[in-house]
Chain A
Amino acid sequence: NAGVTQTPKFQVLKTGQSMTLQCAQDMNHNSMYWYRQDPGMGLRLIYYSASEGTTDKGEVPNGYNVSRLNKREFSLRLESAAPSQTSVYFCASRDGLRDTQYFGPGTRLTVL
């Protein structure tokens, strides 16, 4: 039982490049989330998926797209990376019974 896994752990991009951050959970949770964490700030919600087949914008969605591929996987795509997207990205899934979110280890992204 790996919980929430994310790949890659680290990534360096040049401005304008694209990439997809992968997230998978093996806890059979319905809801999944993407957050970003910046220095001096709390985690902020980018996008979420309440259930398979649905996605919605969070607090800071601009510059990102998401895909809920199936119940396990929720990916985050940067179509044209910008330096302002340099951040640590966390994926989470929600245990509806315990009303708690479980987080992956994060992806540290640098955009030059």
Chain B
Amino acid sequence: DQQVKQNSPSLSVQEGRISILNCDYTNSMFDYFLWYKKYPAEGPTFLISISSIKDKNEDGRFTVFLNKSAKHLSLHIVPSQPGDSAVYFCAARTQTGANNLFFGTGTRLTVIP
């Protein structure tokens, strides 16, 4: 059973506009959330994270919002650039066990010049 869900397989956005990628989770024990970006033929690269004690974290053009009551997080990219075109994975972690990550299925973002 998928504990982390990304219901939009793809998203297209014009350059300069905002990209919003969404993620839902089911496990209330998750306490830390991350976004990874993946280019073809490369491994995922860490983008931004947020602890469950916060509701927002910002890093340059990237902002992650967490709504714990709705078990929902989103990644905002403003402004979007063609180089942002990639697959974005949402991931979540519990503090128990291996600290391993549970990944969503990914959203392919295409930024149109």
Interface residue A74 (Cβ < 8 Å from any Cβ of B): no
A94 within 8 A of B: yes
Query: Quick one: which of A44, A50, A58, A99 has the most chain B CB within 10 A?
Result: A99
A41 to B98 CA separation, bound complex (whole angstroms): 21
Encoded as 1 (CB less than 8 Å from any B CB) or 0, chain A from 34 to 52 comes to 0100001111110010100
Interface flags for A78-99 (1: CB within 8 Å of B; 0: not) read 0000000000001010100001
Q: Which of A14-22, A63-71, A100-108 contacts its partner?
A: A100-108
A50: chain B residues at CB < 8 Å are: 98
A4 sits at the interface (CB 8 A): yes
Whether the Cβ atoms of B49 and A100 lie closer than 8 Å is: yes
Q: With an 8 A cutoff between CB atoms, is B44 at the interface?
A: yes
Task: Point out the residue from A4, A42, A48 that lies within 8 Å of B106, measured CB to CB.
Answer: A42
* B44 with A48: CB separation less than 8 A: no
Residues of A within 8 A of B91 (CB): 42
Q: With A31-B98, A94-B99 given, is the CB distance from A100 to B43 under 8 Å?
A: no
The docked-state distance in angstroms from the alpha carbon of A43 to that of B69 is 26
| Count: A-B pairs, CB below 8 Å | 57
In the assembled complex, the Cα of A33 lies from the Cα of B89 at a distance in Å of 17
A34 to B69, CA, bound (A): 32
Is the CB of A56 closer than 8 A to any CB of chain B?
A: yes
Interface residue ranges of B41-73 to A (CB < 8 Å): 41-46, 49
Known pairs A42-B89, A42-B104; A58 contacts B98 (CB<8 A)? yes
Interface presence of B103 (CB below 8 A): yes
Known: A31-B99, A94-B99, A103-B45. 20 other contacts (CB 8 A): A31-B98, A41-B105, A42-B2, A42-B102, A42-B103, A43-B44, A43-B101, A45-B100, A58-B98, A58-B100, A90-B43, A92-B43, A99-B93, A100-B34, A100-B46, A100-B49, A101-B46, A101-B101, A103-B44, A106-B43
